[in-house]
Amino acid sequence: MNLDKLARIDLNLLVILQVLIEEQSVTRAAYRLNLSQSALSKSLNRLRETLDDPLFQRTSHGLKPTAHAMALAKLLPNTLQGLYQLTLPPVFDPAISHRKFTFSMVESAYETLIPSFIGSLLQQAPDIKLDTYLWTGQSFHDLQQGQIDFGIAGRDLHPQVGLDHNKLPEGLVQHTLYEDKQVCLVRNDHPILQAVKQQDWTLERYLEMAHVQVRCEGKEWWALDYHLADRGHHRNISATVPDFYGAASVCAHTDLIFTLPSSFANHALKLYPLTQLILPFEFLPMAYVLLWHERNNQDKGHQWMRETICLSVEKAIEGN
């Protein structure tokens, strides 16, 4: 290691480079870093001199990273995380910690999972800050880049769905919090309930009905739809909405049927005049998983967060 050369590098420039790679815009990067655009441009020039590469090309759509910048983008998150961990004390004391932890979670987790662990987290660590964002198609990348600490997502077992537990993006680790199953909701006076009473609740009946669907990560198909397509079937999806509460409300005021995880269905039943039905065919369960990057495995604060969340969810499940 050439320590003399390293000593001449302003390590703050590595942080600026990481943000520029993420934002690919001087304006957005300057805003995130609380710098003026002129100050950031000067730092970019210093980076170019230090690394002997232009790093970015200006285009009509912003900054386009060079091949060297893209190669650095694979190394920087781990490097910066290692430097950050050097600044942390050797132990993590939740009672006096002021650290911030960021989460990206699927919408249903805000109702079904957060209540089981947020109280325990804040009771033990009253001064930590928790920032949460909605899980999107970008969340895997954000975990890899270190922009968020944890993800909570639904794991579908069908290989055509993005969160196959055997095919996680490079560097990501997961722990299953709990498994769930899919159920159906219809309004309390729905005509299909008469057929259910007559034990005429079948796959054919299910497929004849019009469905309301929640769009997850920008996708209109769930694992269930891939499962049915493999068998030559397709649901008649009449309405697609962005969130579970919206779908439950639509379901309560129309003849549309809503298929969803049973954990969220239990909450919807308390709010809307709905009836729950079993899924009239065999289908693999899904699971809610906690995700993080392996670079944080030894971080004491991350360890405490993971252990607290997993233990709290486990206790909540046992208590139900």
Contact 181, 261 (CB under 8 A): yes
Query: Region 162-185: what's the mean pLDDT?
Result: 81
Domains of the chain: 3-86 (1.10.10.10), 100-179+287-319 (3.40.190.10), 182-284 (3.40.190.10)
pTM: 0.71
DSSP 216: B
The reported pLDDT for the residue numbered 77 is 85
Q: Above 60 in pLDDT, residue 166?
A: no
d(C-alpha 148, C-alpha 274), whole Å? 36
Query: Region 223-241: what's the mean pLDDT?
Result: 91
The reported pLDDT for the residue numbered 192 is 96
The reported pLDDT for the residue numbered 156 is 66
Token pair recorded at residue 184: 């159906």
The reported pLDDT for the residue numbered 165 is 46
d(C-alpha 268, C-alpha 42), whole Å? 54
Paired with 57 in beta bridges are 64
Token pair recorded at residue 258: 């809503």
Q: Is 134 helix (H, G, I), strand (E, B) or coil?
A: strand
By CB atoms closer than 10 A (0-12, 13-18, 19+), residue 53 is middle
Closest to 213 (Cα-Cα) out of 274, 259, 176? 259
Query: Which tens digits make up the pLDDT trace of 61-74?
Result: 888 999 999 999 88
For residues 125 and 88, which has the higher predicted lDDT (pLDDT)?
125
Closest to 96 (Cα-Cα) out of 301, 313, 297, 307? 301
Give the pLDDT band (50/70/90) at residue 163.
very low
